[in-house]
Amino acid sequence: MKINLENLTVKDAHKSMVNGEFSAVQLAEAYLDMVKIKNKDINAFIEIYDDVLEQAKKADERIKRGDATLLTGVPIIVKDVILEKGRRASGGSKILENYKATYDAYVIKKLKNEGVVFLGRGNTDEFAMGGSTENSAFGVTKNPYDLSRVSGGSSGGPAAAVSANMALLALGSDTGGSVRQPASFCGIVGMKPTYGAVSRSGLIAMGSSLDQIGVFGKTIEDAEILYDTIKGYDPKDSTSIDEQNEMMSGNDTIKNNDENKKGYKMTIGVPENFVDSGGVDIDVLLNIKEVIKNLETAGHKIRYIKLANIKYSLAAYYIIMPAEASANLSRFDGIRYGLHIDGVSGKDDYIKTRGVGFGKEVRRRIILGTYVLSAGYKDAYYNKAMQVRELVRNDFEEAFESVDVIITPTTPTPAFKIGEKTKDPLQMYLADIFTVPLNLAGLPGISIQSGFVERDGKKLPIGIQIIAPHFKESRLFILGNEIEKTVIIPHR
């Protein structure tokens, strides 16, 4: 039978497999067929696994036994920075091109327990360094809505795969917007959890105090199902938060309030000084103003707020992140694992291996990070950036005393042309203006499609970002569900 992948959701797929309308094998075959048709143009996958149908057969056996979960048999793509035992994990880099993981990431273990079907590895900017997936050693991932444009980054491969119906769900990582920005560019849902809500064990680290594994889905409900599956305490991650912690217990007055059944009305904060700060596409501004108007009409209270120090977020981020990346990437020396090129000495081995194995953007960030940590400069740059980070976090905490959530555009523009920003790294970095502050503050955020703009005769999706207090992810899903009902996604 022909499966309608365009409108398929996790619950629909589960119901159909349990009722025998189609099997997990048939579902996997349908996605593999779509991959064969579309991936040659989009380049969302670095690798398509050769055991997909074997995984699906095991899922069918589980379904027949009657112990299937919602995710049993559901096809998923995983960003190539998350380890799966026995499979390659390159981080989108030549320096790890043939490296095979020796253990499962915590989130992979959880998904294996659910019986998901892993389709393959999703393309990414090298070591997640980039906002367009143009820095991948394995080629650019193109936007399903317009192949001349980027899919976003660094999780561009997983986002494009879900958008183009080559996977039902996806895992990505988000250090400064790398889940939310490609979700916006590709017209899907992308969610970054609170720092510590999802284990980073098995995630190839870029910026350890900023990285979080995030989720992609076509709908808010699908993203919520995936998030609920992978969250939780992991003793192997020192930054993981114990599930018994009060903040993780689901004790959210908004979620649990009986009024929610009738349509709980939130107080929504709009940082007007931030949204209207300049450099934002006029259509993006008009879109968020329309969203705000619709939310107010629906009975929500809109409160205009000021986040005094948020304008310094990007500058602070591009000091802290390269510093942490410089330290994390020092392990890739060509000696312990990955690419190795012989030189005339040990030092020469390092130089030759890294010179060939690392791309330009990675080398740029390592150099920048090493500089800001060097003697005589650490106080002037890194320590000052950490102070700014604390100010940004305090601004958000103060704002959440009077509002339930905050909304902004996800990105200042729709997806840009491939090659448009590669010669000017600063312009590329500015695309993260709305997403970076959340990583500095450790806050959860979600991007949901909120409309379209027309460019060169093509309809391009744009998104809005909803931000919640720490461990209040439920608010993202509640408001996101409401907004989602007002947006119609055209066929791609």
pLDDT band at 274; cut points 50, 70, 90: confident
Residues 382-399 have a mean pLDDT of: 98
Percent over 90 (pLDDT), the chain: 84
pLDDT band at 338; cut points 50, 70, 90: confident
Statement: residue 258 has pLDDT above 50: no
pLDDT band at 233; cut points 50, 70, 90: very high
User: Are the beta carbons of 155 and 78 closer than 8 angstroms?
Assistant: no
Average pLDDT, the chain: 93
Percent over 70 (pLDDT), the chain: 95
Q: What are phi and psi of 349, to 5 degrees?
A: -60, -50
State the catalytic residue, choosing from 16, 23, 79, 240: 79
> CA nearest 103: which of 84, 75, 89, 76?
84
Q: Summarize pLDDT for 101-113 with one digit per residue, the tens.
A: 999 999 999 999 9
Report d(CA 330, CA 337) in Å as an integer: 12
Q: How many other CB atoms are there within 10 angstroms of residue 7's CB atom?
A: 11
- Which segments of 362-490 are extended strands (E)? 405-409, 445-455, 458-467
User: Are the beta carbons of 81 and 124 closer than 8 angstroms?
Assistant: yes
Statement: residue 261 has pLDDT above 50: no
> CA nearest 152: which of 176, 122, 186, 187?
186
Is the bond preceding residue 154 a cis peptide, omega within 30 degrees?
yes
Report d(CA 466, CA 477) in Å as an integer: 9
Statement: residue 215 has pLDDT above 80: yes
Residues 358-375 have a mean pLDDT of: 94
Domain ranges of the chain: 1-492
Please tell me the predicted confidence (pLDDT) of residue 247: 53
Please tell me the predicted confidence (pLDDT) of residue 492: 52
State the catalytic residue, choosing from 154, 173, 199, 450: 154
Residues 394-398 have a mean pLDDT of: 98
Q: Which superfamily does 1-492 belong to?
A: Amidase signature (AS) domain (3.90.1300.10)
Residues 189-199 have a mean pLDDT of: 98
Please tell me the predicted confidence (pLDDT) of residue 425: 82
Residue 178: active-site member: yes
State the catalytic residue, choosing from 93, 178, 184, 201: 178
Q: What are phi and psi of 475, to 5 degrees?
A: -65, -35
Residues 429-458 have a mean pLDDT of: 96
Please tell me the predicted confidence (pLDDT) of residue 214: 98
- Region of poorest pLDDT, from 56-70, 307-321, 420-434: 420-434
Cα 249 → chain centroid? 24
Q: How far apart are the first and last CA of the chain?
A: 21
Statement: residue 256 has pLDDT above 70: no
